[in-house]
Amino acid sequence: MTAASATETVEAVFRIESARIIAGVARIVRDVGIAEELAQDALVAALEQWPESGVPDKPGAWLMATAKHRAIDLVRRKETYARKLAEVGRALEDAPPPPEPSEPDDIDDDLLRLIFTACHPVLTTGARIALTLKLVGGLTTEEIARAFLSSESTVAQRIVRAKRTLAQAGVPFEAPYGADRAARLDSVLEVIYLVFNEGYSATVGDDLVRPALCEDALRLARVLQGLMPAESEVQGLAALLELQASRIGTRTGPGGEPVLLADQNRSRWNRLLIRRGIEALHHVGPGPYGPYALQAAIAACHAQAATYEDTSWATIAALYGQLKAMTPSPVVELNRAVAVSMAEGPEAGLELVDALTDEPALEDYHLLPSVRGDLLERLGRRDEARAEFERAASLTRNARERELLLERASRSVSGP
């Protein structure tokens, strides 16, 4: 095996296994920052040894065993951890390392602990996202910076500060239980949801969609779904992301231009992802739906409609009504207004939208004038519609959305 091919193999295996390696080592050292460093040490060891010795039969297990042995050595060197060494080191060293993890459930538990630690509420939302993508998603600092259009140094500092904050706050490496788990699970789900949304509809930049970011979020949701199958909102989030991801390929045209939902080619929607989403929604349980499950139910209405006209807009409006009652938000109400306009006519939708024009939270939200422009256009009030589309274009930071809105403003002048 050449050095180049060995390097490619090491990097590929590490990308797949890094989260589990960090999680397994963090259980020993109780510090995600140190665990990441030890996992990187194992990576360096593989880069040095595999070109000469060849790739092991179980490369992931080799990396795990190497990282854990280095963790034991670190514990041994620290006098303050002598008692911990007696307990942890003996248990790990009495028997030779297995060729692969012999207790997958324990490994899964470690991964769950890592997810909850990376998404701990003591961190800011931005720090949680960066740390989760780094430790659990396996992304490089450069990839995270590129995904969120930030500088690599800014992201690196954010990750360093996040790990330092966790250490200084004494955050335990654990998956909490009971009420504590419910409180922290919200943080975990929020991070995955925000990562997906940034990929699904980019806030800034030249691309409307960043599929790789959606894939990372969907992978995290699937991991969590496998680790916590009985949690209804975990299933709800997984269902939502599967269903939303099924449409990604049709959201843009050949040149990257946005394609509205009404104009998308539904035959190109990914039926496998739709089936996975519907199946996850069926596993939510008999109780009342939570916010993610309600959004998944809305996405399912779209996914199961043969055409745009066949969509059950009355059902979607009712689901948005339930979502508004559960998590009051002007954005949810704006979405409900769109559904109402389709079910009952543009006048009914415009009445709801006009009630939101003084909402401080929507003052700079480009979708408010965009929706209002669409309703005014449907009512034949073209001059007013043009002004709304132009205002929406001035507010968005995404170049593709701006082009679409200015095009719609132009069409409102010239007519169809």
DSSP per-residue letters across 284-313: S-SS---HHHHHHHHHHHHHT-SSSTTS-H
Q: What are the CA-CA distances from residue 138 to residues 50, 70, 141, 347 (Å)?
A: 21, 21, 10, 49
CATH 1.10.1740 placement within the chain: 3-102
Do residues 21 and 67 make contact, with C-beta atoms less than 8 angstroms apart?
A: yes
pLDDT at 73: 84
Sign of CA dihedral 218, 219, 220, 226: positive
Rounded to 5 degrees, what are φ and ψ at 12? Answer: -65, -45
| Radius of gyration of the chain measured on its C-alpha atoms | 25
pLDDT at 416: 52
Per-10-residue mean pLDDT of the chain, 416 residues long, equals 74 82 88 89 88 85 90 74 52 45 52 88 90 84 77 92 92 83 85 87 79 86 90 96 95 91 95 97 88 97 94 97 94 96 97 95 93 96 96 92 94 67
Contacts of 175 (CB under 8 A, 6+ apart): 109, 112, 113, 115, 116, 181
CATH annotation of 3-102: 1.10.1740
pLDDT at 210: 82
Q: What are the CA-CA distances from residue 50 to residues 36, 72, 411 (Å)?
A: 21, 23, 62
Total residue count of the chain as it appears in this document: 416
